[in-house]
Amino acid sequence: MEFSKRYIIQCIGHAASNIRLKGEALENLSLLKNYIHKFPDSEFLFREMKKVTALSRIGIKLNEIYMYASSDRVDFSVLSKEFSRQSAELTTPLMFLLNDNSTEKLENYLLNIRLPQKEVPREETEENSSDQEKLKVQLKHREEFNNSFILLLKELNELLDNIATNSIEVSEIKHYISLIEEKIEIAESANIEIVSRVLGCANSALEFIAVNNDSKHTELIEKVRSAFIIVVVVLRGKDVDLGLYLEEVNQIKMLLSK
């Protein structure tokens, strides 16, 4: 990856670390960095972003950073200081972009930025077209996941309630493990990384519970419930800080290793 593109993506990541990202904002961050990484002409991308109302603020800052990072006058003795300054200036427009747009809207904004055909070599055009198709497929899978998981959610909460009262058969737990595995595959196809990760943790917990069905699992059940809450928050774009819920889910591995 060229230096200027790597520099910008790291600037975005550093700026994002200063923002309390909520729900879909985490997916938006991944989408933005991935799109910048794959787009063949960074200068064109940031110039076009400035023309789109919803992307203009971030586009202006990214273009400024790009012009600096791609210049042959970069002074490496002060690069760290400049990086910190530029990341700080990027924080506010990045916060508004990530928190004020649904992932679907952001994807559509970015998908509409395309290089003029005459400026793109054949192989790059084919690659760019392939990336556009992948994003469209991801959107389709995201919609499929949203619809199917919301329908399943009530049953999953009942499952946890039944496990808590020890009024469920192991075969039924295994049935829902299989259903969640299917949802994980769809989430991965939709590139909803945070959702596939927390559901993977939830399934590990349910598999442990199925094997150790004769024990109480009160703490583990609440961790799994936190995973389901994260999924709903991400899907519905609710204005909720996911930090505490993510911390709960991350503790699942620790509990399973005891």
DSSP letter string, 161-219: HHHHTT-S-HHHHHHHHHHHHHHHHHHHHTT-HHHHHHHHHHHHHHHHHHHTTTS--HH
pLDDT tens digits, 191-238: 788 888 899 999 999 999 998 877 788 899 999 999 998 888 877 766
226: closest CA among 132, 157, 163?
Answer: 157
Above 60 in pLDDT, residue 129? Answer: no
43: closest CA among 14, 23, 26, 67?
Answer: 67
Segment of 8-12, 71-75, 131-135 carrying the highest mean pLDDT:
8-12
pLDDT (0 to 100) of residue 3: 82
Percent of the chain with pLDDT over 70: 88
Band of residue 117 on the pLDDT scale cut at 50, 70, 90: low
pLDDT (0 to 100) of residue 120: 47
Rounded-to-integer distance, Cα 183 and Cα 92, Å: 34
Pick left, alpha or beta for residue 237 (phi over 0 → left; psi -120 to 50 → alpha; otherwise beta).
left
DSSP letter at 71? -
Higher pLDDT, 129 or 48: 48
pLDDT (0 to 100) of residue 101: 87
Above 70 in pLDDT, residue 164? Answer: yes
Above 80 in pLDDT, residue 123? Answer: no
Q: pTM for this structure? A: 0.51
15: closest CA among 97, 93, 99, 90?
Answer: 90
pLDDT tens digits, 100-115: 888 888 988 888 888 7
Residue 196 backbone phi and psi in degrees, to 5:
-65, -35
